[in-house]
Amino acid sequence: MIELDEVYPMVFYGGSAVFAVMAIAFLGFDYLQDLSKLTIAFTIFAIFAASFLIATTRETLMKTVFYLVSAGSYLLFLVYVIGRFSRGTGDTIIFFLISAGLFSGIGHLLTSRPELIPDKDKVKKILIGLTVITALLIIYNIAFVTMSFTVSLEDTVTFNETEQKIGEIQITKKGYLPLEASEAYIDYCVAGSERDLPTRYRSVGDKSFGILPETYTEDITFELDEGFLEHNEETEGRERINITRNTVLQVVEVDECSSENLSEGQLGVSIDDDWR
């Protein structure tokens, strides 16, 4: 029969492992989200490896706690890697098979080859090495892997089709780590309209950069619903917006898209702060 005095410590030690894994999840998936996905993946994997090594030097319940933290950290690492690096089902299967082999190897090491497990002095040196490498990678990421944005708008736009180029955005990535441009949106407005301008928000710069430095350019387009120009040519009254075929509007950038900030004949373009 299990004594309650033996159960209580297990509950609290197990709870501490759960909270530690939750903290690691928030660290990797939220707090460090602006860093390179390679940096985040390495950091979570380093925590997995460090927790495992610490577990091999502990006794009784503390050993179990660190093994649980290690296993939980690896699960987070696997979820992150699949979500960020997998390009399909085939990659996911490979990640799972590699993980199965890794855990089988660890189990074999613990049960059949304990002499291969590093002693406490070697564990300390390995932990110091992991800490230094992780810290240097994060520092390099923050200091040298940067993203800059340049937005240029056309002076005017003439409406002959439903989709018009009104400018372009240039994204320059410096440094040698993969990085992703945050998704941003553009809003449009015109002066004196009695109804919403029928444009679609357009995601600009949903772009993943590789390890090498790179410059990427994408057009900013103003999109009207299909048939809008024809409809506007035929419609009279308060609902009409004075945009028909061959209408020329001046393109201006505004902090907030509101017709009150514009003069007649202007097209206002509001860009997310991420791109300013």
Distances (CA, A) of 11 to 180, 200, 237: 41, 53, 72
Domain boundaries, the chain: 4-144, 146-275
Q: Look up tokens 């240029």; give the residue.
A: 152
pLDDT in tens, 212-242: 999 999 888 887 766 677 666 666 555 556 6
Of 266, 245, 95, 97, the C-alpha closest to 191 is 266
What residue type is assigned to position 253 of the chain?
A: E
CA distance 133 to 7: 39
pLDDT in tens, 89-133: 999 999 999 999 999 999 888 888 888 888 889 999 999 999 999
pTM beyond 0.85? no
Q: Record the tokens describing residue 124, joined without a space.
A: 């300390």
